Structures are given as C-alpha cells and as structure tokens.
Amino acid sequence: MQIHVVKPGDTLFNIANTYGTTIQAISDANEIDPSLPLVVGQTLVIPIVGQFYFVQPGDSLFTIAQKFGTTYQNLAQVNSIPVNFTLPIGFRLYIPPRPKVPATANAYVEPIGNTVSETLENSARKAAPYLTYLAPFSYRVNRDGTLSPPPLNDFKAIAEANGANLMLVVSNLEEGAFSSELGNIILTVQAVQNTLLDNIINTAKEVGFTDVHFDFEFLPQNDREAYNTFLRKAKERLSQEGLLMSTALAPKTSATQSGLLYEAHDYAAHGEIADFVVLMTYEWGYSGGPPLPVSPINEVRKVVNYALTEMPAEKILLGQNLYGYDWTLPFEQGGDPARALSPQQAIALAREQNVAIEYDTTAQAPFFTYYDANGAQHEVWFEDARSIQAKFDLIKELGLRGISYWKLGLAFPQNWLLLQDNFDIRKL
C-alpha cells in the first residue's frame, strides 16, 4: 500500500496516473465519493503492491534503502538503474513490499443499551476478517458475583465466519461508570470471587469465548495487591478450563505513577500472570478535556517503553483509537463535551468548512481548525493513514504482540487496509 497526502491541485485522476492505478480503485479503497473534491492534507491509501518513493534533496540509493529496510543493490535492480546512478529530485523509485510480520489484533465492540445497531453489527462484520479477537464490551459484574451480559446478537456467528475468537470482557462498570466500590467488593470478598469465576467459566463454555479479559478500572491503591491476588486465582481456574486470560492496563510511564486510574495496575504482576495485556494508549485528548491528539505517538512510546521494563514485548497489545474529537473553543472545564467523529467524518467536515488538514509531526496526528455558523472556533484531532502507520511501525520496531482497537462503529477503512498490508493476523 502507498500513502499519499493530497496537495493543492491534486485530483483523483492525476493521483491515479502517478501510481499507475484507477480512480475507482482509489475511491473503493478509501470509501470516498469520486465526485467530491479532495481536501488538502487528506491522506489516501493507494492499493498497489509495494509503493513508490519520490526522491528528495539529499537522498541516495543507500539512504532510501535504509529507510525502507532493503539494500541499495536491490533497489537498483528492481528499478533497472545502475547502483551509482545519480538520482534526480522527484525521480520515482519503486519500493518492493516488505515481508509481513505476525500480529494479534483485537477490537472491542460496545453496544449501547440493550440492542446492537445494524451499523455496529456491519462494522464488526467488516473488521472481523482482520481480527484475532472480537471483544463485546462488556459483561458487568454485579455485587453478588453474577454477570450482566451485553447484547451479543450475531457477534458469535460473525467471529466464527471469519476465523476470529470471542473475548469475554469483564468489567466493574456500574450504572454507566467504573465503580471503585464494586471493584473493592470483587477483589476482597471471597464468596463473590468464587461466584464470579464460576459464572465466567460457565458463560465462556456456553457462548464459546476463548479468552477472559479483565478490565477493572478506578481501583484504589489499597486494592493493588488484592487485584494481583485475584488475577493469580483467576488464572489458575481459567487455565484448568483451557481459557486464556488477559487484562487492560491504564497507560502508565512509571511504577509509581499516581492517580486513581493508575495506582492499582501493577504492570510487573500483570505481565507475569496474564497471557497478554492491552495497554490503553489513547484518550490523551478526550471528550471532557482540552483539545489534544487522542493517541500521540510520543506519549504512546513512553508508555510502551515503561511496559517493556516490566514485561516481555510478546505480551503487549498496543491500544489504538478508531475515532477523533471535535472541540468547541475556548475549552471550559465542565462545559459541553467534545463530539466524537470518525476519520471519514473528520475529512468530510474539513471539506464542508473548506479548510486544509494539517499534521503534527511530533504527535504523528492530523488536525484542523474551523469556525462554525455561530462564529465559534473548533479544533479537530483524528486519525489517518499516516498516524496509524506510525503505530504499526512502533509495533514492528519493538516486537509487540499486536494491536487492540477501541472501538468499532466509526468508519476508518484505511486502518484495515494498512493492518493487512503490515501484518499476518493470527487466527487461533
């Protein structure tokens, strides 16, 4: 796959000619209407084998080969040029595809209320071919250890038809929020734990889950060791039944990081006990906070670097958002929350407002600003092909197990094309 960033004057016609493909192929891959104008700064994934590179000042065959993980001799041979050829600025080089690496991919899917919308089900159906796990969110623990299930609808059939496994997500959500009090009951009352584990195992067998995933959040620091002890107990029970166990971890950068979200999440213990973990490396920019990139690569890397001091890389799934936010400025704490939107919706909004999309190279994230009909300024941060490729490069660089998406339902077709282009997704 090729990532192309739209420049002033670009059209689908000249882009297709540049890469030797068709307008229809580009439109289909990016799920765009070819009759609509492109947005300056918009990324397009070009569905070709390998990619093209256009020579920049200072480039040589050697430096370009290093950039793409090949040799200058191979580049010369593939492009039918001498190894000592002087590269003109703008010269088009063909870069052959790199070998894919194996990876695990999970995606949470969160039905709202008691039903699964057709849109959400279709989103799961589109994503399932690219997933190792499909994770309905979530089975909520009651105070007596019983479980309140999410609606599953056709999720099991969708997973089975695409060689994906179901992940049983267990949370301490209560009345729409993570409950510290409920978490304490689960972690300290043995009778509740025993009932809970019995119910988890029975549910896993009945429905066909293969992994049990604990997402216990907002636990007090005093429950840190109790959580570790519970996980050891759960792991022993689940292993006896042939079930894997994983956990979700808040995005920490040190063992002593303070705050209710972080203190009870012991990276070293989870890395020892669980089969794998999901690092929740997103929501730096969130609906109730000031405008920021949702998963800036520089901050994500800090979390991963710390995690690697506590657990092996092959146990880590990198968390990744599939959405962005539109903030109204000036930001006021406690004011109206930012509006969530998909990458596709963000591009459509930039087109509607006739503004260019910019790119923060430190955060590796696209953004733009605009003024609405009432004169209020807005700031939008979202994901595009460049930002998701940066995460894939990080996974490959550090040898991580794979990726975990929060959450299905908002369209981001480029992600799935690039995921397939970078990795051989494990099917269990």
Q: How confident is the model at residue 98 (pLDDT cuts 50, 70, 90)?
A: confident
Note the helical H segments in 162-189. 180-188
Domain 101-322+389-425 has CATH 3.20.20.80: yes
Whether the predicted pLDDT of 329 surpasses 90? yes
Residue 103, Cβ density class (10 Å: 0-12 exposed, 13-18 middle, ≥19 buried): buried
The reported pLDDT for the residue numbered 428 is 82
Q: How confident is the model at residue 238 (pLDDT cuts 50, 70, 90)?
A: very high
Residue type, 274: A
The reported pLDDT for the residue numbered 342 is 97
The reported pLDDT for the residue numbered 91 is 95
d(CA 30, CA 45): 7
**101 — phi, psi (to 5°)?**
-115, 150
| Catalytic residue selected from 121, 206, 217, 241 | 217
Whether the predicted pLDDT of 12 surpasses 90? yes
Whether the predicted pLDDT of 369 surpasses 90? yes
Q: How confident is the model at residue 285 (pLDDT cuts 50, 70, 90)?
A: very high
The reported pLDDT for the residue numbered 113 is 79
Task: Indicate the class that CATH gives domain 2-95.
Answer: alpha beta
Q: How confident is the model at residue 182 (pLDDT cuts 50, 70, 90)?
A: very high
d(CA 329, CA 377): 5
The reported pLDDT for the residue numbered 116 is 86
Taking every pair of C-alpha atoms in the chain, what is the biggest distance, in angstroms? 75
Cα 84 to Cα 7, 60, 74, 87, 110: the distances in Å are 32, 9, 13, 9, 56
% of the chain beyond a pLDDT of 90 = 96
Report the 3 state secondary structure along 234-253: HHHHHHHCCCEEEEEECCCC
Average pLDDT over residues 383-391: 98
Extents of the domains making up the chain: 2-95, 101-322+389-425
Is 383 a known active-site residue? no
Residue 141 CA to its chain's centroid (Å): 26
The reported pLDDT for the residue numbered 78 is 95
